[in-house]
Amino acid sequence: MGIKSKILLVVLCSFIFSFSCVGFAQVSNNLTATGSANAAPPQGIYITTTSHTGQTNANAITHSHIPLTTNLTVTSERGTSWGSGSTTYSVTVWNNTPYIYAYAGIEYESSGTVAQQYNGNSLLSTSAGNRKISVSVSGINTSTILQPNQKVTFTTTYTYGRSLTAGTDYKTLVNYKFAVNVDSVGDAAVDAVVKKFGEILNDTSDGGDYQTLIDRIDDKFDGYNEWTSNYIGNVDDSTSADYQTIAELFEGKLQITVDGKEVDVTLIIKREDVDGNLNTGDSFTATNPDNRQSLTLTGCEMTLYVTTDPLSQSGYRPVDAVVFTCDHNDDGSLGEWYVVGERYSGEANAVGYQGAVDVGSFDTGTWRSYAQTYNVVNGYSYSLSRHQSIKTVTQATDTYANNKLLSLLKEAKTIIDDNELAGSGMVNLREKYEAASKVYTVSANGTISLISGLTRSQAIPHIKALELALSAFRQ
């Protein structure tokens, strides 16, 4: 079986336990006797502030949160009055990561090294008891979601049972567990691959990444079948040359950190005409050295099909598709490669690479879209229906996209015509306006018109670029 390119997703983790956050994986920090995490990540989810907010028949002596974890230490004693006592604290947690998290419950060690240093830990419970220290939270539950860079503040209460010795200090160490959304980790992984692929395509120097990629694809042509010279992948049973090329091109760019587990990123790069425009993308002639048969294709996009699904089951599996293309310069050379449309969510049939096994890879020809709405910019979004091919998606026209682009072009032209300033914002706006000149014309009286047959995928890159450039003039 071939080797897969991997993304190592490692976030500092602790004891795994069951909880009700479907689609989330455990990722909070370890409880340790010293009160520190395994390491201090530059990004993470952790407590930023705590404060003592109240007490009843108890004496709150000290409390502290441990930096870069969601651990809280509390030292309190039950009061001398009959009955239970309690202390209450406000806790703020910050999700300083690019992933989505959810609250997953309370964890503590009731025996072992931690319990030896924290005498109250052997008495901890999440339910009340006469000889127990119960811990509860309010303002947060297992349905609470933390988006990237979001903070949440909740209240935690420590209740000391009436049978505990009054005036005795009870010291505890509790971890408030949070879990990462598995899909959000996969999204970040795929985003990293897409970004890196754009860099590969635009490394057009002699012997650069782009040349390495197309040389390997050309070398696959067997002289008979077109499909043997228009793709490369790192899937199961791919050739060692395929794997080596992918590994070299993506090396060092696919390692993030989470829970010590390895998540495989499977990708196939396919070179073919997707947008129906022979004046975009690259063209090539591949010749088989053994039988001297040649294959010539024109106007080819580069489509990246990528998934974090293990592809261990047959049938249709989730696969994203991202189409890259480039315009041609006046001298016939290729311009900058860019994403046409969006990163589209969909599915493809899990099969073997070149039919070698029945799973482990997928058939790009079977890729079909999921039903999904894509928010492009403020004031413009569109929805795809299920089961559309990548060519259908890419070549679709959209009146709303055209109207949005035309509106942005008119706004940009007005600013450019009326403003002689040469600041960075104006320079950027002019660049984006001129970059879109392939999709519009300007009449003698200054009227802007879009070219006939403009597709949504052609319009979207310019919509995004102009919207961002214009934001500097809307403040």
Domain ranges of the chain: 12-181, 202-395, 399-473
CA distance 139 to 155: 6
144-149 long-range contacts, Cβ below 8 Å, gap at least 24?
144/102, 144/103, 145/100, 145/101, 145/102, 146/45, 146/93, 146/95, 146/100, 146/101, 146/102, 146/103, 146/178, 147/95, 147/100, 148/95, 148/97, 148/98, 148/99, 148/100, 149/94, 149/95, 149/96
Burial class (CB in 10 A: 0-12, 13-18, 19+), 269: buried
Give the helix/strand (H/E) hosting 250: helix 240-250
CA distance 131 to 119: 13
Top-ranked range on mean pLDDT: pick from 110-114, 142-146, 278-282: 278-282
* pLDDT value for 57: 93
CB-CB contact of 175 with 108 (8 Å): yes
- What pLDDT band is residue 2 in, cutting at 50, 70 and 90? very low
Give the SS3 label for residue 463: helix
77 HSE (CA, 13 A, CB side): 10
Q: What is the average pLDDT score of the chain?
A: 83
The angle subtended at Cα 459 by Cα 98 and Cα 382, nearest 5°, is 60
CA distance 247 to 6: 9
* pLDDT value for 386: 94
Token pair of 53 as six digits: 């907010």
Model confidence at 445: pLDDT above 90: yes
Top-ranked range on mean pLDDT: pick from 245-249, 263-267, 285-289, 309-313: 245-249
Give the SS3 label for residue 113: helix
Structure-model confidence comparison of residues 332 and 259, the more confident one: 332
CA max distance for the chain:
96
Per the DSSP assignment, residues forming a β-bridge with 368 are 347
Distance of CA 475 to the CA centre of its chain: 30
Give the SS3 label for residue 104: strand
Structure-model confidence comparison of residues 36 and 259, the more confident one: 259
Structure-model confidence comparison of residues 8 and 450, the more confident one: 450
* pLDDT value for 237: 56
- What pLDDT band is residue 192 in, cutting at 50, 70 and 90? confident
200 HSE (CA, 13 A, CB side): 25
Task: State the amino acid at position 422 in one-letter form.
Answer: A
Q: N- to C-terminal Cα distance for the chain?
A: 57
Q: Of 253, 252, 262, 241, which Cα lies nearest the Cα of 193? A: 253
* Mean of pLDDT values over 228-233: 78
Q: Of 230, 264, 226, which Cα lies nearest the Cα of 247? A: 264
Model confidence at 34: pLDDT above 50: no
* Mean of pLDDT values over 224-249: 76
* Mean of pLDDT values over 219-243: 73
Strand order in the sheet with 124-125: 44-56, 85-96, 151-160, 133-138, 124-125
Burial class (CB in 10 A: 0-12, 13-18, 19+), 43: middle
CB-CB contact of 279 with 299 (8 Å): yes
Model confidence at 373: pLDDT above 90: yes
Q: Hey, how many other C-beta atoms are within 10 angstroms of the C-beta on 113?
A: 12
* pLDDT value for 14: 32
* pLDDT value for 171: 94
Model confidence at 181: pLDDT above 60: yes
Q: What percent of the chain has pLDDT over 70?
A: 84
Report yes or no on whether pTM surpasses 0.85. Answer: no
* pLDDT value for 415: 92
Token pair of 456 as six digits: 């949504």
Beta strands in 162-251 (DSSP E): 170-181, 231-233
- What pLDDT band is residue 257 in, cutting at 50, 70 and 90? low
Task: Tell me the helix, strand and coil percentages in the chain, rounded to 5.
Answer: 25, 40, 35
* pLDDT value for 302: 96
